[in-house]
Structure formats: C-alpha cells, structure tokens
Structure 1
Amino acid sequence: MTKLVISIFSFIALFSVVTATAVTQFDFSTLTLSNLKLLGDAHLNNGSVRLTRDLPVPNSGSGRALYTKPIRFRSPGTNYPATFSTFFSFSVTNLNPSSIGGGLAFLLSPDFDSLGSAGGFLGLSDSAAAGFFAVEFDTLMDVEFSDINGNHVGLDLNSVVSSEVGNLADVGVELKSGDLVNAWIEYDGSTRIFNVSVSYSNLKPENPILSLPLDLDKYVNDFMYVGFSGSTQGSTEIHSVEWWSFTSSFDSAISPNSGSSPPPPPPTVVFMNPAANSANSAKSPPPSLPPTGSNSASSTSQKESKSSSCHNQLCKQGPGAVAGVVTASAFVFALFAGGLIWFYSKKTKRVNANKSDSFASEIIKMPREFTYKQLKQATKCFNANRVIGHGAFGTVYKGILPETGDIIAVKRCSHSSQGKDEFLSELSIIGTLRHRNLVRLQGWCHEKGEILLVYDLMPNGSLDKALFEARTPLPWPHRRKILLGVASALAYLHQECENQVIHRDVKTSNIMLDEGFNARLGDFGLARQVEHDKSPDATVAAGTMGYLAPEYLLTGRATEKSDVFSYGAVVLEVASGRRPIERDANNNNVKFGGSCSNLVEWVWGLHREGRLLAAADAMLGGEFEESEMRLVLLVGLACSHPDPSARPTMRGVIQMLIGEAEVPIVPRAKPSTTFSTSDLLMTLQDSVSDCNAAIITISTSSSEKSFDGGDIV
C-alpha cells in the first residue's frame, strides 16, 4: 500500500514536470500499429521490428520502420537544433553464415513515404538530394562506399558514404554474431557535440566509439521522421530492433550561434525508457508486441494538438499561468490518487477475503494471461500432430494465435500435484528473467483445471535434435556460438539476477535454437532461486543422469557449481557429437572405448593418453580449427572437474571461450573422488527413475559402481 502511495505521488511530481516542459512520453511497448509505418520488407515479429525478411534463400531487399508523427528538430526561424538521445537494442542474424550482409541504420528523414535501395544503400537513399541523417551499422564492406570493413558504425550526412567511421572490433562488438547489441546515440543542441556508444552490455561505455562536433541544423528540417532502415545484399541476413527509446527536447541554454535565448520549447515526442535517463546506464526492458488498435493513436494526436495550443496561450500569459496550470493539474491528480487509493484498499480487502484464489495472486504479476479458448484454438484442440516435445512435467505443442498469426510453443503441464508445483516454480522464476539467451515466456493460462505456459517458438528446435537428428551435421561455428550463448545465460542466472537461480537441469534437450541458431536455455521446472552468498537447502537430487555433478547426487544440494558440471557435460557432448551416456537399441550402455560408459570419463581418458582431439565429432569431417576444438574440450573438462571448488565460474568460462582468459591447467589424469557406496545407494533410493533408464558410472575409492538411472526427480 505504501509503495502504491509513493508511486502515485511520484507520478504527480513527474506529471507536473512534464506539464511544465510540454513533453509527451512514450515507450516502445506502448506503440500501436498506427504509430509505426512499415515500408518494404519491414514487419513485426513477436514484439520486435524486423527490417528485412527471414528468407532461407539469399535475397536483396530493404525495409524501413518510422514513427508516424514528425518530430521538431529545429526551432522555426533560428539555427537552434534540438537536443536528442536514443537508446536501442538490435541483433543481426544470418541463416547462412557464409552469406554476405547489408546492415541497418538509425534514421532521421524528411521523407515519410520513400524507401532507398538494398545492399550498401541500407534502404536510406539513392541520392544526396533526398536529405537524411543516419547512423549506420554496416555488415558489408563495399569499396564503392569507402567502407573500412564489414563490421563498422558510420555517420551518414545526406550520403551513404560515411563522414565519420568507427571500427566495432575496437569495442569488442561483432555485428554478425547474432548477439543483442545496445547502442546509444546522443546530440547536445547547446554544445553541438554528437556521440555514439555501442556495447553488448546494458551499461553505456565510458568512452563513445564516435564523438565529434556537429552542426545538426545543416542536416535537418524543422520537422523530421525518426526510425530505422535496413537492407540485405544477396544474403539471408535478418535485422531486428528489439527495444527503442527516444528523447527530443530544446535546451534552455543560450544558443551558441545566435547569442540569445532560444524560443520557448514546442511540444516534443519522447520514446522513453526510464532506465535510459541514467548518465551511465540504460537497461533495456523486455520488448513486447505493440498492441493493435487506433483509439490510443488518435487520442494521443488530439492530446498533442491541445497541448501545443495551450502552450502557445500560456507563453503569452507568462510563467504565472504555467505555474497555475501545473498546480491545478497536480490538485486534480491528487484527487484522482485519493480515489485510486480508496478503490485499491477495497479491492485488497476483497482479495484477502478470497484465500482460495491464492494461485491467481501468485501469478498476477507475470506476463500476459491467455484464455484457455485462445490456446485450444491455437493448438487445434491440442492435436497430437502439433506435439513438438515432451518435458519432465508436460507436453509442448506448436500453436498459431489466430488474432496475430504469431507462432508459439504451448507447454501443457501434467495434472499431478508435482506438475503443479513445477509449473508454479517455472512461472515465478522465468517470468522475472530477461536475457537474450533465455527462452522468453509470453504468458500463461490456468483454466478448466489446465496449467499452460506460452513461450516463443524456437524454429530450429532443441540442440539435442540439431546434434543427433538433423540431416546435416551442425557446423562448428554454430556449436561454438551456442556454447557461448548458454554460458552467457548461466552467468546471468548465477551472478547477475537479483536472486541467484540454479537451473538444475542443464542439458542439450533444454537448450533451444532460434532462427539464427542462437542458444535459448529453457525449462525452468526444476530451477530454484536462492539469495546470493546463501547456502542452498538440501533436496532430493533432480535432473538427468550424465549431467549431474557427483556431489549433488550425494548431498542433494544444488549449487552454481553443479550447474557448471552440467554445462561441462553439454560442452563435451557438443564437441564430440556423443551423448553423456550412450545406449543401444536395447537400452544397454554403449562403451566409448576401454571400460568407460560415460562421456566425461571417456574424454578424461583421451586427455590422459595425449589424444584429446580424438574426441572431436567425426561428423564434422575435420572442418574446425584444432586450437578452438582443443580449447573447447579443455573448458568442458575444467567444468567437469570432480572437485566443485576447482570448477570455473560461468563468467570465467565466457572469458575462456572468447580468449580473454586462459583455461586453468587440467590434469592429465582425472582427480579421484572418494564416495561412500552406502551414501550413494541411500541417495539413489530417494530418487525416482523415469521409464527411460540410463547408466551412470561413479568412481569410488575401490572400484567402479554402475547404477540404473535416468531423469530423476
């Protein structure tokens, strides 16, 4: 209740400031279809704006997405330009890694209807006569346009030949990596300084990649349209804008050119991400699909028109009139706040009186709530032909939402009490997580006794299927990118969340692949949240044999180090093309060589014999860099170390994979670990094996003991 009151009065204060400065505010998630104009190949896709088409065959095309209302960038009759800043997150993925690119650009244009050519023109303009201002992110080195390489940022002033260029490799960014890239573009109208910063991190870099003096008034009209442009050139490159915030205003400082105060600020349009106002950081909120409908757009237009008219009248009457309006507005909102508080208190009493609806209260803060009818229709009544996978506690269906055409994955949880518990765990944890390498939860449904979770559908399925069921072997560059993506997701869960998240079921079948073969870790049914630096509680061991750390099997206490062990098994699986525990058609264990029936043990044995590269997947046909393969295998062994304290952190793993840190010395012989056989048997008796038994081999001080097991919970 106290938080609500504080929020309301904070909003009143914010409203007073906004009224006084005549600023209108928006953010990316509130834009409607009528606020965006999409030209050429541009289209919406699951909450992001895609500037180019996701075609499996090479294509040359361009697209543009613009905000529909013109924004003032220069005061009328003066040379005084607007101050503006924008923050956006974007990704460039390529369905064919050997395909050459195109690129995308942030754009200010006086033209609302035309679209430039594909290829090196980036959809901007074919001639300087059209006039535009753009910051390009180019993935194609084109000699015609004096490009320095195929991975640069450039300032384009009425020309696609950049006047200033920065090499993105200098800041550690590779546009074609498929990873989410954050960009900050800022212009100060009083000092005439222009800055561009680029990073993978949500923290804005201290030093911009481009910084220069710029007279913006030479390159803009009084009003310009704001948006993005992108293109391909004989490629399968996909350019997605995942989040966008934009602020435009006129400073109260004296214009350096005119020597006098600038005219009163006209109404300006703001796409605002509140976190983007921080001097050193801008955290990108989760992108969400713009709601359809035109009512909000027309209402906004009317409000802006009225605001402009009122502003002109108030300017004539002096600052006292402005203060009066602000005071009156604050008073009105105070009355509204009082009514809202009364309504909220009444509603709270009703909710507290209905304890039986505690389930709904648990998830009311989570993503969108779907109706059962919607999901039943999307999955064709949960048709068996729509089944795309089976999780530990439910079945996953492919669905198509009729109202939007979006393709989704619907997880239908089992009806057991355990299934409900896992559902609540998954929903409460993943609903609060935001990372480019996690499967995004779109929403949920709890009706008719059914428990349903709705996720983005990953078009390339699971890593497990890509490794073992695909017609062609997964290329080595894809495998390395996937391993880096999973490491990034686990580092986020372990070290960057408010509460640490232990996944407890890291395996290839829980790693999904999007259209660009980027890894998305999913299935949080077994995950647990713990406070940082707190010891986790002991539980019954859960997960899948072959991925489980030996100390976790013994104690039932999952830690970030047990996740690291599971990741190590995934690394070795991806590098070798072999499952952690191989079985033949009769469910018998298949030996890798010698007496080993466990992948981790087998790779340790090859390392001991000095034949580590023999573990490389034969299906790759030698198409990999030996140094990269050796590095990946050593990382896998380091993560699979029997001693949890000797395993690296996931942040350390990332540094190893990208070459920023050395892999710790991995002993040739696997260090021995002593377990009590009775303790091990007691632990396994507390576990429940599923019907698909597997074999796990645990080294003891005296001999090797093999036990039947599988997915245990």
Structure 2
Amino acid sequence: MITFEKDAFISGGKLELTKNKLDDSLTQSVGRASYAQPVRLWDAKTMELTDFITHFSFVINALNNSMFGDGLSFFIAPLESRIPSNSIGGLLGLFSPESALKASLNKIVAVEFDSFQNSWDPSDNHVGININSIISATNVSWKSSIKNGKTANAWVCYNSTTQNLSVFLTYADDPVFGGNSSLSYLINLRTILPEWVRVGFSASTGRLVELHTIHSWSFYSTLEAENGNRKNRVPLAIGLAVGLGVLGFGLGLLWFFYWRKGANDQRKKYLGDDVCMDDEFGKGTGPRRFTYRELTRATNNFAEEGKLGEGGFGGVYKGLLSESNTETAVKRVSKGSKQGKKEYISEVRIISRLRHRNLVQLIGWCHEQGEFLLVYEYMPNGSLDSHLFRGKLMLTWPVRHKIALGLASALLYLHEEWEQRVVHRDIKSSNIMLDANFNAKLGDFGLARLVDHELGSQTTVLAGTMGYLAPECVTTGKASKESDVYSFGVVSLEIACGRKPVEPMAEPTKVRLVEWVWDLYGKGQILEAVDKGLCAEFDEQQIECLMIVGLWGCHPDSTIRPSIKQVINVLNFEAPLPSLPSKLPVPMYFAPPVDMCRFSYTSPGFTGSATDQTRGSSGSGSTYSSTTSAGSATALLNSGKNNR
C-alpha cells in the first residue's frame, strides 16, 4: 500500500525516508514514501473540494551533531509526480534545481519541516507551507528537538469551505489536537492540483546529515471515491498498516488494530461529517437515525401535494411515521447543495442536544444515497410569518403576546441557560413555528454556532436574513448574543405591527419598520404603528411595552441593547421600560473593504426556513451568506532562537 522511491524503505515497522545505516554514507540521500492508491482531491462533475485531515508522528534525528540537514515534508502532487533529478539537500526531494524557484513549472503543495537554512529560507528550523515553489508561501520558526531525536506530532488539515490549509505541530508526550493551528494559509487547491493526487512524504540530506523517520500516519478525507463506497473514506490508515504487514503477520495484525482504533477515535474528533454522526447518534440518545426507505414511505415518496414549504437549501414535506402514527415534517436538502449539507450537519450537532418547550424538536435524521434529511415534530399551525403577512389566520393579541414571550424564553435558554451559549444567527418570523396551541417554537439551527459563555462575539461566515441582521454583523462579520437580540427586536415589532421589516412599496417614511416605529416613538405616537388587523382589541400597556423593548433590542449600538433576561423582566413588568433617544441613532462602524465580503443571495421569492412548514412566499428578506477575510492564523508554535 506504500510506494517507495530512491532511498526510502521500511525498517523496524517505521518508514525511513533517507539512508540510516551507520556503515554507509548518509550524505546526499533522498527518498519518498507515498500512498499507492490515488486520492480524490475534488470532484470534476460537481467541482466539490474535499476536506481532509492527516496526522503523522515523526522524528528528525541529528545524531547529536551540532550541524545537520535538510528536512522532510508532507506533499500532495499529481499522480505522475516522481522525485526530480538532483533534488537532494535543501530541495527536499520535491523540486529540481531548474524548477525550484519557478512556480509555473510545478504542481505541488507541501508542508516542509526544514532543518537547514538555504538562501531562500527565513531561518534554519522552520515549518513552511509551499505552493509550487521551494520558497514557502508562509512559515514560522519552531523550537525543535532534532538533536536528541524526540518524536514530533503534526496535523495538516484542509477546510474546503474556508479554503484554509492549516498545520499544527507539537512535541508534547501525549498530544491532543483540538483544531488549533500553528500555521495556516488560504488556498483553493482546485486551482493548483488535479482531481486525483498522490499523498506522501519526501526527505533529503546534502553535505550534512540527519535521519528522517515516520512512526505513524493516518489520512482521512470527506470526498467519496467514484464507486461511492464509504469505506474508501479512510483508506490510508488501514493501507499503511497493511503495507507494513510485510514484516510479519503478527506485526501487521497489531498495526491493523492500532490504526483501526486511531481511525475511529480521530474521525469522531476531527472530521465531523455524516460518518461520525452514525457513531454519535447511534447510542440511544437524542434523535434517532431513519432509513431513506422509511422516510420515502412516510412522505409518499416526497409527494408534491404534501410539500409544506421550500427553503434556501431544500423542500419540507409532511410525513406520517406508520409505526408510531406520528405526524412529522421532513426537510430534504437539495442534492448537490454543499451549504445545505453543512447546515444539515450543524443542525444535527446542535439542536439534537437542546431540550426546551419553545424549540422545535428534531426527531431524527438520515443521510443515505446522497440524500440528507431532517425529521422534525410537525407544527400544525405553520410559521409565524404565514399568519402575520399571508393572511392564514389573524392572530389575537393574547396569542401574539404569548408568542413573543415564548421566543424570549427560547433565547434565554440558548444564551444563558444551556451548557454552552448558542448563537442562532437567523431569528426571523419564518423560523418561528406554531404548535397546535400556538406556542412559539424556534427552529432552523443550520446557521447556529456554539460559543463558550466567557466569549463574546466570534468572527465567522456572515449569515442571516436582510432586515433582521444587526448592523455590526454586516460591517464586521461578528455574530453574538447581541445580534440575536437585534433580530428578536425586529420580530417583536413584526408581531405588534403586522408588517415586514422592509416594505419597498410603502411610503418613504414607512419603508423600514425600525426607522418608522422609532420615529413614532420619538413623537409619542408609537401606538399608531399597531397592526390595524387587531381592530384595537389589545392591551395597550403590553403592546407598547413590546414595541419599546423591540426598539431597544434594535439599537444600533450593540452595547446598549438589553440581554434577553432584561427583555423578559421588562415584558413581565418586573423592570421599568428603558428611556430611548427620540431619534434613531446612526450606527458608526469601520466598514471593511468591499472585496472582503462576497454576497450570494437566494431567490427573493421565498425566505422560509429549513423548518418552515407552510406553503407560499413571505418575501420578507433574502437569506444570504458571505465570507469575511480573517487573514492567516497567528502562528502558535514555540518561538525563540535556535541553538545552532
């Protein structure tokens, strides 16, 4: 399962990349060891890039010499790639002297662990990410333990969504990888490498010597092979063990079980794809897994007449589970929707662990035959927006007030009461479902993120719906509990006023809901904004309180917005109303350059959520996502001058 080139070989159950015989010259040695089977980096049909993670332990042993060289690398290259001629020394077996500095002549991505300073190197001991050149695109110095031959552990990860290639290196005796990085670089690998590649290691010596030994190696990727066999997702961990089995059946068997355990442990920790979910939700806790056949039967093969709604990443269908005679809503992620798959994973991870009377319950999930499906409890009264804006049923004030309090209770649980803070990031009326008794149930956690309670905001992929997004989210890309409160404020005004956040056809002063209501508040006429459909049948004190709290939540300055606990106290008249400015303050934020944000809008005709269980089009805004550039991650390796 392992292909060797030049001086690379197996010795004592380890991969030796260069010569290590003490009775032989160790100078000017070069070798490669690579996985014998092709690895799929991206899919030419769908253009989907794989996520991957590789972990290896290695030793660079200077044999107690004060001078040593040159280093080893992990590389990804075209299938036909072989060791170039004259690639000893600082070229690490990756480049020929003629092509080393000419990126246009190469197709290779490598992570180098360099132990000798050549003219193109920033220092002697450094880790670098190399793209088509021996000159690293980014690098960081590292305090190595080369002289005494201590074992290092490295993880190289690629996130296809952020296109971030990251490296983590440690000499800890019992290392634990938590997803952090020592070095990272943003790169679209599809523009550098072909669909099928080889992965492996390369090392070399020049006039100075050292030993380059790989003790263990695992490689996992999320992109399936062409035959669709899910087992091909982890070929390398087993493949290396089988390759080393030539040393003897017993040793091979030990390696096999070692790698199998490592494969199971690491995929649960790091990959987080649907394979891991099989393990996570197969333990009898939370939602259960359904088969695709069960759900096709429950939805009458996803019959069009049973379709409840259409969201940004798929349709929602009414279903009936025959065994329990339970009505459900089944969301079917659109095939080929990469973002839809990511939201599916996020939803299963987060909402399945949450239990609250005002959250939509996830009953189960299914990923089979290229399909991703989520099964929710059925909400017979559909979504809040269908009643407020589409005339499904005129909600009385007591029902509206109960919905507002229920939504606030759900947010209190997410922000302050659960073990981790959950930032929902997409609170809107179409994501608020109503059960048979018109109790509010917040749904669609596809954009939600977990945040430690001691942390505030986090820079992430900007996502949400126009009209509900806090101004700082648009300009800085930071989502927080304060931005969730802003969205709650908008929904509160929708409940009281019976209109959408933005009405393009309204009078100029009434186009934007927040601005219009704030202007009336400043004039002492806030009750003029109340939904005329209520026919003046409402509690004036309650509705005025909800509207003022809504404006408070929509304050442009996030530091002035209330916490959700303060909101609940005021709505229950356990705390006084805030005194707000008579004019809507103008937000002041540093806006990043335009090219930092790339906006991609869904169809403006429908903004229903993944759990929207009503037919029709709300048109209340467009769900979108954008990417904010955070630059390369800060290097976290041990720093300091080397002793050489």
Structure 2-normalised TM-score? Answer: 0.51
* Cα displacement (A) at 1:671: 1.5
Given that residues 312 and 602 in structure 2 are in contact (C-alpha distance below 8 angstroms), is that contact kept between their aligned partners in structure 1?
A: no
Q: How much has 1:498 moved relative to structure 2?
A: 1.2
The letter of the residue matching 2:324 is T
Instruction: State how far apart, in whole Å, the 2-side matches of 1:372 and 1:432 are.
Output: 23
Structure 2 partner of 1:632: 546
1:609 matches 2:530: no
- The answer to whether 1:673 aligns with 2:593 is no
Distance between the aligned counterparts of 1:694 and 1:361, measured in 2? 33
Supply the AA of the counterpart residue of 1:650: I
Amino acid aligned to 2:498: G
Q: For residues 147-186 of structure 1, what are the structure 2 equivalents within 5 Å?
A: none
Matched residue, 1:482 = 403
Matched, 1:408 2:331: no
How far is the alpha carbon of 1:365 from its aligned partner? Answer: 2.8
Secondary structure, aligned partner of 1:412: strand
Q: Confirm or deny that 1:712 pairs with 2:633.
A: no
| 1:96-107 correspondence runs (5 A) | none
Cα RMSD over matched residues?
2.6
Paired position in structure 2 for 1:385: 305
Segments ≥4 residues shifted beyond 4 Å: 344-350, 352-358, 680-683
Q: Give the superposition deviation at 1:649.
A: 0.6
Q: How far does residue 504 in structure 1 lie from its aligned partner after superposition?
A: 0.4
C-alpha spacing 1:680/1:512, structure 2 compared with 1 (3 Å): farther
Q: Counterpart in 2 of 1:183?
A: none
User: How many residue pairs are counted as aligned between the two chains?
Assistant: 349
Alignment of 1:33-44 (within 5 A): none
Task: Indicate the SS of the match to 1:552.
Answer: helix
After superposition, residues 181-192 of structure 1 pair within 5 angstroms as none
Deviations 1:576-616 (A, max 9, x none): 0000012xxxxxx123x444421111111111222100010
Q: Distance in 2 between matches of 1:571 and 1:518?
A: 15
Take 1:538 and 1:616, find their aligned partners in 2: how far apart are those partners?
36
The separation in 1 between residues aligned to 2:472 and 2:267, in whole angstroms, is 44
Q: Deviations over 1:438-466 (max 9, x none)?
A: 00011111111111111100110000112
Does 2:471 align with 1:550? yes
Change (3 A) 1:669 1:370: same
Checking the alignment, whether the CA contact within 8 Å between 1:540 and 1:687 is kept in structure 2 is no
Q: Deviations over 1:308-340 (max 9, x none)?
A: xxxxxxxxxxxxxxxxxxxxxxxxxxxxxxxxx
SS in 2 for 1:424: helix
Residues 520-545 of structure 1: CA deviation (Å, up to 9, x unaligned): 00000111111112144312321111
Q: What TM-score, normalized to structure 1? A: 0.47
Secondary structure (helix, strand or coil) at the match of 1:396 reads strand
Alignment of 1:451-490 (within 5 A): 451-490=372-411
Query: What's the CA shift string for 1:352-381, capped at 9, x where partnerless?
Result: 598999523235333211111110000000
- 1:541 paired with 2:456, answer no
Indicate conservation of the 8 Å contact 1:501/1:528, yes or no: yes
1:445 pairs with 2:360: no
Say whether the 8 Å CA contact 1:689–1:709 is kept in structure 2.
no
Matched-pair contact (CA < 8 Å) for 1:545–1:694: no
Aligned to 2:511, the other structure's residue is in SS state coil
Q: For residue 542 of structure 2, what is the amino acid of its counterpart?
A: E
Contact kept, 8 Å, 1:391 with 1:523, in 2: the verdict is: no
**Residue in structure 2 matching 1:492, options 399, 413, 419:** 413
1:691 aligns to 2:603 (yes or no): yes
Match of 2:280 in 1: 365
Letter in 2 for 1:399: G
| Matched-pair contact (CA < 8 Å) for 2:458–2:480 | no
In the aligned structure 1, how far is the partner of 2:392 from the partner of 2:422? Answer: 35
Equivalent residue letter for 1:394? G
SS in structure 1 of the partner of residue 459 of structure 2: coil
Q: Is contact 1:479-1:574 (8 Å) kept?
A: yes
| Cα distance, 1:475 vs structure 2 | 0.4
Q: Say which SS state the counterpart of residue 436 (structure 1) adopts.
A: coil
Q: CA deviation at 1:346?
A: 11
Taking the TM superposition and a 5 Å limit, the aligned residue runs for 1:217-236 are: none
Equivalent position to 2:437, from 511, 516, 534: 516
Query: Residues 526 and 358 from structure 1, CA distance in 2 versus in 1: closer, same or farther, beyond 3 angstroms?
Result: closer
Aligned to 2:228: none
Q: Which amino acid aligns with 1:689?
A: Y
Q: Is the 8 A contact 1:543 1:711 kept in 2?
A: yes
What aligned pairs does 1:183-582 form with structure 2 within 5 A after superposition? 348=261, 351=264, 359-366=274-281, 367-415=287-335, 416-582=337-503
2:567 counterpart of 1:647 = no
Deviation for aligned residue 1:624: 0.4
- Cα drift, residue 680 of structure 1: 7.5
Aligned partners of 1:581 and 1:694 also within 8 Å: no
Task: Give SS of 1:645's match.
Answer: coil
**Whole-Å Cα distance in 2 between the matches of residues 693 and 402 of structure 1?**
34
Which whole-Å CA distance do the structure 2 matches of 1:709 and 1:514 have between them?
24
Equivalent of 2:514 in 560, 585, 600:
600
For the structure 1 residues 371 and 390, does the alpha-carbon distance in structure 2 shift closer, same or farther, using more than 3 Å as the test? same
Q: 1:357 to 1:466 in 2, by over 3 A?
A: closer
Residue type of the alignment partner of 1:673: P
Q: Which has the higher contact order (CA 8 A, sep 6+)?
A: 2
- Aligned-pair CA distance for 1:710: 2.5
Per-residue deviation at 1:467?
A: 1.3
Q: Deviations over 1:165-197 (max 9, x none)?
A: xxxxxxxxxxxxxxxxxxxxxxxxxxxxxxxxx
Unmatched segments (≥5 aa) in structure 1 = 1-343, 583-588, 696-707
CA contact (8 A) 1:439 1:520 kept: yes
| Cα shift readout 1:383-421 (whole Å, capped 9, x = no counterpart) | 111111223322111000112211001111123222111
